[in-house]
Structure 1
Amino acid sequence: MTHPPRSPQSPNEPSHVAIYARISLDRDDTGLGVARQEEECRAYAEARGWTVGTVYIDNDVSATSGKRRPAFEQLLEDRPAHVVVWNLDRLARVSRDLERVLDAGLTVWAIQAGQLDLSTPAGKAVARTVTAWATYEGDIRSERQRAAYRQRAKQGGRGWVNRPFGYELDGTLREAEATLLRQAFADVLQGATTASIARTWNEAGFVGYFGKPFTPHTVKQTMKNARNAGLKVYEGEVVARGDWVAVVDEPTWRAVVDTLTDPKRGRNANGGNKVTTMLSGIATCAHCGTPLWIIRTDVMKRNDGREFKVRKYGCRKGHCSVAQDWLDSVALLALREALPRHMEAWTGPSEEADASRALELRAELATIETKLGELAAAFAADLMTMDQVTTATEGLRQRREATTKELESLTASASAMGWVADLETFFTLPDALDLGKLRSMFANVFESITVAQMPKGRYAKPDRDRVKFTPLA
C-alpha cells in the first residue's frame, strides 16, 4: 500500500515516530497480521519523510479482555511524542485504555483516520467518540456471538474438541470408562471421596486429559459435567438434551453435584478436605455441643517399657477427651447394630418394587423434559404466548421437582442396602471401606453422637454409657 507524501509538510508533523501494532487473535502464531500493520505504518511514515524509531508489537492479545498488553504498557512508560498506528482501535478499544493514552499526552497518527492530536480538546473528543463506537461495535458483536453460541447449544450438538472420559467423540459410550463413571456416581452417594475414586481409576490404568493421572479435582470436575446426564449446558444453565447417550440419569447426576459442592463435605479440623478420622466433626461434646477433633497424641508405656501413641478426640474447650481407637470401635458397633433397622425404613416394600418404580419415575422425567422442550419450540414459533408458556412450564417444573425427590429417595434406599454389605465387609477387611463412606453412614443413621467426660485417674477406663447415639427419626 502506497501513501503519497504531503507537500509541503505541516509544521506540526514529527521527524521521528514510534509504531504500535496489535492483533487480537493469531491462531497460527505466525505474526503475519502485526507484520502487515507494521509494514503499512512504515510506508505511511516514510512517505512523509519521518524516521521510524521504536516499534511496539502486541501479537495475539485482545484489547478488551483486560489481559495485560506488554508492548502497550511499555509504550505508555516510554511516552514517545508521536505514534503511528493502523487504526486507533489497535491502540485503544475501551475507554479505560484511551484515558491512559490521553494522560500520556501522545499524538497519534492513524492511517485510517489521520492525525489525532490528543493534547487538544478537539483531538480528545474525536478519540473518545471513535473509541466509544469501537466499544459499541465490540459489544454488539459479542451479543451476536453469544446468541449464536446459545442457539447452537440449544440444538444439543456435542461440539467436543477432545474426547470426554466415558465417551467416544461420536457420542457413543466407551463402556469401560462409562462403567467406572456409573460406579463412581453410586460411590459418592454412599460417601466415597473423590480421592478414593481417583485412586481406583489410576490403579485400573485409566488416565485423564493429556494422558495425566486423575486427581481428586479432575475427578470432581469430570463427575460434575452435565454431559454425564446427557444435558447441554450454556453459561451454567441447562439449555437442551444432548444428542449423545447419558451415563447416568439426571436426578442421580444432580444429587452427586449437590454432594460434591456441599461446603461441609469432608471438612476436617483445619478446614481442609482430606478426611483422616472417622468421627471428627461428627461426634460432639455432651457439655457444650462443640464438635470433637483430634486434640492431642499421648505417648504411653507398656509394661515391658515399650512406648506407644494414643490419639485422642477432644472438645477444644476442655470439657472431655477420649481415645480415638476406643471411641471409633464403640461407634462402629453402634452403627452395625442400628444400620439394618434404618435400612428397613428406607427400603420400603421390596427391592423389586423400588426398581420398577424407579423406571417409572425416570420415564416420567424424560416425558417432562420433552414437554418443556416442546413448550419452548411452540413459543419460538409464535404458537403460544409468554403467559401460556409460563403457566404450563410452572406446572411441569413442580411435577419434575416432586418426581426428582421421589427418585432420590429410592436412590437413598439402594445406597442403604449397599452400606449394610459394605459395613460387614469392613469388619472382616478393615481397609476395604472408604473412610468418607463410613462418615456418610454415621451422618445418615444418627442425629447426634455425644460424648461426656470420661472417668479420670491412672487406672480409669472409658465408660460406654457416657457415649450417647441418638438415631434419626
Structure 2
Amino acid sequence: MAKMSTSEQLRAVIYTRISEDPRGLEAGVSRQLEDCRKLAVDRGWELAGEYSDNDISALQGKARPGYDELMAAASRGQFDRIVAYGLSRLWRNRKERAEAIDALSRTRISVALVKGSDLDLTSAAGRMYAGILGEFDTAESEIKAERVSRAAQARAEAGKANGRCPYGWKRVYQRDEQGRVLDWRDEVDPVSAEVVRSIVQDLLAGITLRAVTTRLNEMEIPSPGGGRWIPSSVRKLALRDLNIGLRRHRDTTYPGAWEPIVDEADHMKVKTLLGDPRRRTQRAAARTHLLTFGIGRCGVCGGVLAVSKKGPAGRKTSLYVCKEHGCVGRREEWVDGLVVATVCERLSRADAAAIFHADDAALAQEQSKVVALRSQLDEAADMYASGTIDREMLERITARVKPMLEAAERLARPAIPMPDAVQHLIDSHDSRAVWEELSISQRRAVLECLGVQVILKPARGGPGFKPESVELMWEPRRPT
C-alpha cells in the first residue's frame, strides 16, 4: 500500500506494469519505475506510493493486485496524480478504462505520462482524449492478439507443435549463415519416447497410475518439468493425442508433422481405460488385498469387504469381514485361493478368449471409416495449401466430415480394453504361474475385467472352510 505524507505538496503515486516477464526478472518494471520517479522529482511532486504488476496482461481483464490497490487508494483520496510510463501501462481493456476514467474524474485525480501528455480527467476534453488514446492502445493489443492467433493457426495447419518441444521428441533447428532460426522440426528422442511407451504399456498391463508414478520416481527418471513425477502428469502424458501424431487446435484435429511414438490401437485403449467412469481411484497403497474396495461383498447386507486381523497375539489371522456390520467373516487365504483357482481354471480353457469376443467385423469397419475420414480431411488441407480450394470451402468440408469422424472414432474404440495381463493368462500353458507373477493391482485388474463379484454368505456346519459359502459371479466387460 502507499505510504502517505502530511505534506501540502501535490501527492503523486507511480504505477508500473509489464505484460510478459517469463524469467521473472522484473527488468521492465524497474526501468519504468526509474523513469516515473524522475518525472515526479522533476515536477516537484511528493511521491506518496508505488504500485506495480509484473507479467500480467491488461487486455483480457485479468486480476491485477497492484492496480486494484491503486484504485482503492484513489477512492479514498490518498493522492492527486498517477504517474505511468504510458497510458497502455494503465489500461488496455475498454471496460476497465471507462470505469477508471469515470472513477478518477469523480475524485479529481489526473494522469501524467513519461511517454505522452498529461491527462486532466477532471475535464470533458481530458476524458475524451484519454478515451481516444486508450482506443489506439486497445486496437494495438487486439491486432497483436490476432497475429498471434493466426500464427498459432498456421502452426496447427502445418502440423507443428505449439510452444516448447513436447516430451518424447527433441527439436532440431534449421539456421542460416548468421545462425538465425529459419525453421524447425521435432524428431523422436529415443530416451524420453521410451518412457512414454513404458507408461502406456504399464497402464494397459493393469498397473495403477500411482504405481507407475512410483516406478518412474524410484528409477530417478526426470519428469517433463525436471522434477518428480505425480499421477496427474503421468495421466496427461499417456492421454496426449500428440503420442499418435495428431495436433489439436481449438476444435480441429490436424495430422502432426512429427513421428508417432505410440501405437494408435494402444492409444485408444489407454484413453478408454483412463476415461472409464467405473475406474477406481483409491490410493494404490490401500490396494493390498484382492477383494477389498467392492470386488468382494457381504451376502447379508451387501456391504463391501474389509480385512481384519483376528486371533491371539503372534498368531493373528487375516479375515475378510463385512466392513459395515461384521455380518460375515472368512479367512482371506482360503477365499483368495478359491477365487484364484476358479479364475485361472476358466482362463486356461481352450475357449477362454471367447469370453471377450465382440463383433470384430463391425469394429474393423468403423476403424476403416476413421482412416478414410481422416484421409478426406488431410486431402482437403492439401488442396487448401495448394490453392485448389479457398478457406471457405475448407471450413465447409471440415464441418461436414468432423462429426462423422468423431462418431466413427467412438465406435472404433473398445469401451473397456482388455488388460495385457488377461491376454497373458489366456495365452499361457500355466495360467497359475503367470498369475503368481502379477502385482496386486494387475490381479485386481483381471478380476475387474472379468466383472468378478465375490459374495460371502453365512457359513453353516461348524468350523473349517465351506467353499459353498463363497459365491463367484462374473460378467466379462466385452468391447462394444
Tell me the TM-score normalised to structure 2 length: 0.73
- The 1:470/1:226 distance shift into structure 2, 3 A limit, reads same
Structure 1 unaligned runs (5+)? 1-12
* Matched-pair contact (CA < 8 Å) for 1:285–1:319: yes
Once residues 100 and 456 of structure 1 are traced to their aligned partners in structure 2, the CA distance between those partners, rounded to angstroms, is 82
Once residues 129 and 240 of structure 1 are traced to their aligned partners in structure 2, the CA distance between those partners, rounded to angstroms, is 42
Once the two structures are superposed, the pairs formed by residues 118-137 of structure 1 within 5 Å of their partners are none
- Per the alignment, residue 5 of structure 1 pairs with none
Once the two structures are superposed, the pairs formed by residues 75-90 of structure 1 within 5 Å of their partners are 75-76=70-71, 78=73, 79-90=78-89
- Per the alignment, residue 109 of structure 2 pairs with 107
1:324 lines up with 2:332 in the alignment: yes
- Per the alignment, residue 470 of structure 2 pairs with 467
1:209 lines up with 2:224 in the alignment: yes
Once residues 429 and 438 of structure 1 are traced to their aligned partners in structure 2, the CA distance between those partners, rounded to angstroms, is 7
Aligned partner letter, 1:185: V
Aligned partner letter, 2:51: Y
Shift of 1:83: 1.6
Aligned partner letter, 2:201: A
SS of alignment partner, residue 117 of structure 1: coil
Once residues 284 and 125 of structure 2 are traced to their aligned partners in structure 1, the CA distance between those partners, rounded to angstroms, is 59
* Matched-pair contact (CA < 8 Å) for 1:186–1:415: no
Once the two structures are superposed, the pairs formed by residues 273-352 of structure 1 within 5 Å of their partners are 275-279=287-291, 280-290=293-303, 292-294=304-306, 297-301=308-312, 306-316=314-324, 319-341=327-349, 343-345=352-354
SS of alignment partner, residue 63 of structure 1: coil
SS of alignment partner, residue 316 of structure 2: strand
Tell me the TM-score normalised to structure 1 length: 0.74
Structure 2 unaligned runs (5+)? 1-7, 173-185
User: Which deviations, in whole Å up to 9, do the C-alpha atoms of 1:388-436 show, x marking residues without a partner?
Assistant: 655455555555555x24xx49974966422446895764784x41222
- Per the alignment, residue 269 of structure 2 pairs with 255
Aligned length: 440
- Per the alignment, residue 375 of structure 1 pairs with 380
Aligned partner letter, 1:192: I
Q: 2:52 aligns with which of 27, 45, 57?
A: 57
SS of alignment partner, residue 169 of structure 1: strand
* Matched-pair contact (CA < 8 Å) for 2:348–2:429: no
Shift of 1:467: 2.2
* Matched-pair contact (CA < 8 Å) for 1:312–1:322: yes
Q: Which moved more, 1:42-51 or 1:20-29?
A: 42-51
Once residues 103 and 224 of structure 1 are traced to their aligned partners in structure 2, the CA distance between those partners, rounded to angstroms, is 49
* Matched-pair contact (CA < 8 Å) for 1:63–1:92: yes
RMSD over aligned Cα atoms: 4.4
Once residues 371 and 283 of structure 1 are traced to their aligned partners in structure 2, the CA distance between those partners, rounded to angstroms, is 49
- Per the alignment, residue 453 of structure 2 pairs with 449
Q: 2:171 aligns with which of 150, 169, 172?
A: 169
Identity of aligned residues (%): 22
Once the two structures are superposed, the pairs formed by residues 186-205 of structure 1 within 5 Å of their partners are 186-202=201-217
Once residues 392 and 331 of structure 1 are traced to their aligned partners in structure 2, the CA distance between those partners, rounded to angstroms, is 49
- The 1:316/1:410 distance shift into structure 2, 3 A limit, reads closer
Q: 1:438 aligns with which of 428, 436, 443?
A: 443
Once residues 178 and 26 of structure 1 are traced to their aligned partners in structure 2, the CA distance between those partners, rounded to angstroms, is 31
SS of alignment partner, residue 239 of structure 1: strand
Q: 1:266 aligns with which of 280, 302, 310?
A: 280
Q: Which moved more, 1:124-133 or 1:18-27?
A: 124-133
* Matched-pair contact (CA < 8 Å) for 2:299–2:455: yes
1:242 lines up with 2:253 in the alignment: no
User: Which deviations, in whole Å up to 9, do the C-alpha atoms of 1:323-355 show, x marking residues without a partner?
Assistant: 433322222122112223463316879xxxx9x
Shift of 1:21: 1.9
- The 1:391/1:314 distance shift into structure 2, 3 A limit, reads same
- The 1:424/1:127 distance shift into structure 2, 3 A limit, reads farther
Once residues 287 and 133 of structure 2 are traced to their aligned partners in structure 1, the CA distance between those partners, rounded to angstroms, is 58
* Matched-pair contact (CA < 8 Å) for 1:198–1:219: yes
